[in-house]
Amino acid sequence: MRSRTVLCIRKIGPSEEETLDNTNCLTHRPIEKEPCNNQSCPPQWVALDWSECTPKCGPGFRHRIVLCKSSDLLKTFPAAQCQEESKPPVRIRCSLGRCPPPRWVTGDWGQCSAQCGLGQQMRTVQCLSYTGQASSECSETVRPPSMQQCESKCDSTPISNTEECKDVNKVAYCPLVLKFKFCSRAYFRQMCCKTCQGH
């Protein structure tokens, strides 16, 4: 666009003139502005805002969209119509700090293996990263136990001295009673009579 000054003037002498208000000129007022250089500018790259850094910790990237636009930004062209060598980057490295270390995660204890007396119960123990993925970087020295001893209440009445000395069928771990020296306790000695004989 180019412009010029348009004034309403009146000559008052051979070399003298005065400027009047525009309403004093009766002829059509010439235009002040007109377009020039009708050739449009070539398309250009326009970059949108960067995204947040992902992932939330450790090394990651920020991304953004870069479009090939007309000079007035009203039209979007295929990327091939903009110069590839001048295209702004669409990805940059970033970091939001170190990630939490992997840790041991335990499940709930399962049922006791013995329906009556001493038994064992199990639970899952997993080393997981902060994203919940399996990891091998947890310290074994602080690994929680995945098995523990348990005891189930017995519904059967302990056998009397007049009955045959035998282990009650429901007791699955009479050997553990012997191992942990529970035969000295009257209840276990009766429930595991055969195992505890002579001990």
End-to-end CA distance of the chain: 112
| pTM: predicted TM-score of the whole model, two decimal places | 0.43
Please check whether residue 193 is in contact with residue 166, taking contact to mean a CB–CB distance below 8 angstroms: yes
Rounded CA separation 105/123 (Å): 10
pLDDT tens, 91-106?
A: 999 998 889 999 999 9
> What is the band of 155 on the pLDDT scale with cuts at 50, 70, 90?
low
Rounded CA separation 70/77 (Å): 7
Domain boundaries, the chain: 2-34, 44-95, 103-196
Q: Does residue 184 register a pLDDT over 60?
A: yes
Single out the residue of 22, 26, 17 nearest to residue 5, CA to CA. Answer: 22
What's 129's DSSP letter? -
Single out the residue of 116, 188, 192, 119 nearest to residue 154, CA to CA. Answer: 116
pLDDT tens, 4-63?
A: 999 999 988 888 999 999 889 988 899 999 888 777 789 999 999 999 999 888 899 999
What's 97's DSSP letter? -
